[in-house]
Amino acid sequence: MRESCFCGRDGELEDREPVLDSRGRWILRCPDCGHLDDLGWLLEEAALMVWGEARHRREDPLEAA
* Tens digit of each residue's pLDDT (9 = 90 or more) over 30-47: 888 998 888 888 898 998
Inter-residue contact 35 to 7 (CB < 8 Å):
yes
Q: Indicate whether 12 belongs to any domain.
A: yes
What's the mean pLDDT in 48-53? 89
Number of separate domains in the chain: 1
- Is the pLDDT confidence value at 25 over 60? yes
Q: Indicate whether 53 belongs to any domain.
A: yes
Q: Indicate whether 10 belongs to any domain.
A: yes
Beta strand pairing call for 10-12 and 2-4? antiparallel
The Cα 59–Cα 63 span in angstroms is 8
Q: Indicate whether 44 belongs to any domain.
A: yes
Q: How confident is the model at residue 8 (pLDDT cuts 50, 70, 90)?
A: confident
In degrees rounded to 5, what are phi and psi of residue 37?
-115, 115
Q: Indicate whether 64 belongs to any domain.
A: no
Inter-residue contact 54 to 16 (CB < 8 Å):
yes
Q: Indicate whether 50 belongs to any domain.
A: yes
Domain interval for residue 24: 2-59
